[in-house]
Chain A
Amino acid sequence: MSQPTGVIHDIGYQRYTGPRLGRRPIVGALYVHGLRAAFGLGRSAKAKVFPWLIVGVVAVVAAVLTALRARTGQALVGYAEFTEMLSMLIIFFCAVVAPELVSRDLHNGVLPLYFARPLRRQDYALARLAALVSATFLLLAGPMTVMFVGAAFSVDRLGAVWDELGDYLVGLGYAAVHAVVFGVLALLVASLLRRRAVAAGAIVGSFLLTTPVVGVLMVLPYERATQLAGLASPVTLVGGLGDWAFEPGGEAEIGGYGPLYALTTLGFVVAGVLLLLARYRKVASK
């Protein structure tokens, strides 16, 4: 005969003795969290609407271009031009995603919780920036990959595939430059504003603010003015850099100022990142 047995399990508070990960895995988790949040993953359905709307439009454009190319055998738009053509959509994407990543945390008062955790102050800003840049890059790289695969199947020679791959990789590089420049500016603006709608408007505004300057410089009857006009606005700045570095033969519009465009772009990004870090240093100590 077996004895009846009984046991009460201890489900009281248990101390944790398992591993505690270091800074890198934490920042990695924050990055992945941001990247998912950029596309509304793990968020409400409402948060998914805008990013996926833009993803949808970009995908449709890519699909149409791929289909046309398959039919005509002629590439209507190159990879670099594809990115430039969509620059307005990229701005909208950043305007939707950057506030979602940082303004929201500011508005909800979550930041002190991050700063009270084993991260460095800069880590939050950099992980958020990396998430926004990656998301923006993916927005472009995804459809470009579709275009590349479509093109690779439609050419007849193996050599042409190699040429296409070269163009594709250069196109990815150009998309990455866009993602970095646009991402830095958008995140910096969003980090200053706690209301998402206001931040979104301010981001679009910050990209468009100086376009009249470009316009005025363009119509001046001096060649140098027109060639340097692009420096005045982020969109044309990256465009100028692209003309020099990514589009063979595109240098006509900027003359010999290609390296200046490249340096200015670099300076713009570095300044933006430094300002962003300074911004969060201030928030953390407040």
Chain B
Amino acid sequence: MTLIATQSLTKTYGNGVTALADLTVGIEPGIVGLVGANGAGKSTFIKIVLGLLSPTSGQVRVLGLDPTVDGRQVRARVGYMPEHDCLPPDLSAAEFVTHMARMSGLPKTTARERASEALRHVGLYEERYRQVGGYSTGMKQRVKLAQALVHDPDLLLLDEPTNGLDPAGRDAMLGLVERIGTEFGISVLVCSHLLGEVERICDAVVAIDGGRLLRSALLSDMTAATEVLTVEVSEGTDELAARLAAANLPVRRDGRLLLVPLADETTYDLILTAVAELDLPLHRLDQRRHRVAELFATGPVASGEPPAALAGAGATEGGIR
């Protein structure tokens, strides 16, 4: 079953700002990254998925339901973790998550049990009986995740789940999201500005820009290997470049890396021989991969849009707030 499917989805606000323009996309179960510029229409998209906003035109289906009509049924099966702070500081995590479970329709005792389980699964143990106000950023993010998870949704919407976390906290949160998507069997739509994170945990990526679909693809397709080898040696990069050039390989330099087109299998041997003969420490040898960042690096020009779309996106940025 398609998780979220939209057909020519358009949302224009009263002040004339178009947040979504003719967006047609099908999102399959799994961990899906939703990426785009600030003001690209991500928050509008989430609100429409939750049935909190009605589209101006076009259709949307979430878990097979139409959120504009059956918003409550959709919300009963969706968990939402907002980007900003949303926790009352004077409650304990256990009390708060239990309350939120009841707000999702779980009976009283079940709510308590599942809250306790959800907190355990996100890695909060004794701390859950302490007031949330005293928690670290990482712990707060976990509570936010637990309240979205407590009613066992079929779809989790995570808005910048690693916001404000330090490297260790980010690592733990990403691991958690990955587990939810694989072990728990819950589909996840995660909004993130950090494309490296998206590459690490997502199965597929939906990129929107200026309210339009920029690209929707499997991550494996977006990060496919190219026919270029990257070679990195810890020292003697210039010598190696000269030697490879002498061996008639059209080598290019990119920072610390040397880029060599992969003509055929013998290219590997030529490189290895050159490194061995020069007695250099070989640090890296690999086919270069495409990156999700390439979507944005070249800007809208690459997608065939006129450069004016960039200015348009800038105008939308302000309008949505």
Q: Which residues of A contact B (CB under 8 A)?
A: 12-16, 18-23, 25-26, 29-30, 33, 42-44, 47, 104-105, 108-110, 112-121, 284-285
Measured between beta carbons, the chain B residues less than 8 angstroms from A25 are 105
Q: Are B53 and A116 in contact (CB under 8 A)?
A: no
Docked CA distance A115–B297 (Å): 36
B87 close to A13 (CB less than 8 A): no
A sample of 10 cross-chain residue pairs with beta-carbon separation below 8 angstroms, ordered by A number, consists of A14-B117, A20-B151, A26-B102, A26-B105, A43-B90, A104-B88, A105-B88, A109-B84, A119-B75, A119-B103
Residues of A within 8 A of B89 (CB): 108
Partner of B76 from the list A33, A113, A118 (CB cut-off 8 Å) is A118
How many residues on the B side are at the interface (Cβ–Cβ under 8 A)?
41
11 new A-B contacts, CB < 8 A, other than A114-B103, A119-B72, are A12-B183, A23-B72, A26-B105, A29-B108, A47-B90, A110-B87, A113-B80, A113-B86, A117-B75, A117-B100, A119-B75
CB closest residue in chain A, given B132 = A108
Residue contact A33 to B107, C-beta cutoff 8 Å: no
Enumerate chain B residues within 8 angstroms of A13, measured Cβ to Cβ.
117, 121, 183-184
B107/A19 in contact, CB under 8 A: yes
The distance in angstroms between the C-alpha atoms of A76 and B21, with both chains bound, is: 71
Q: Is the CB of A285 within 8 A of B152?
A: no
B58 at the A interface (CB under 8 A): no
Q: Is the CB of A20 within 8 A of B76?
A: yes
- For the complex, is B215 an interface residue (Cβ under 8 Å from A)? no
CB of A117 within 8 A of CB of B82, answer no
- Cα A108 to Cα B131 in complex, Å, equals 14
B230 interface residue, CB < 8 Å from A? Answer: no
Q: Which residue in chain B gives the minimum CB-CB distance to A109?
A: B86
**Given A110-B87, A112-B80: A16 in contact with B152 (beta carbons within 8 A):** yes
- Within B122-175, which residues are at the interface with A (CB < 8 Å)? 131, 147, 151-152
Are A285 and B183 closer than 8 Å at their CB atoms? Answer: no
Is A120 within 8 A of B86, CB to CB? no
User: By CB atoms of chain B within 10 A, which of A12, A15, A19, A116 has the most?
Assistant: A116
B90–A44 contact, CB under 8 A? Answer: yes
Contact present for A26 and B103 (CB under 8 Å): yes
Contact B90 A285 (CB under 8 A): no
Closest-by-CB residue of A relative to B147 is: A113
Cα A74 to Cα B84 with chains together (Å): 60
Question: Chain B residues with Cβ under 8 A from A14's Cβ?
Answer: 117
CB pair B85 A116 closer than 8 Å: no
* B303 contact set on A, CB distance < 8 A: none
A285 near B103 with CB under 8 A, answer no
Alpha-carbon distance between A238 and B151 when the two chains are bound, in angstroms: 44
Chain B min CB distance to A42 (Å): 7
Q: Once bound together, how far apart are the Cα atoms of A15 and B82, in whole Å?
A: 23
B86 nearest CB neighbor, chain A only: A109
Is B82 touching A109 in the complex (CB atoms < 8 A)?
A: yes
B47 contacts chain A at the CB level, 8 A cutoff = yes
User: Judging by beta carbons under 8 Å apart, are A42 and B80 in contact?
Assistant: no
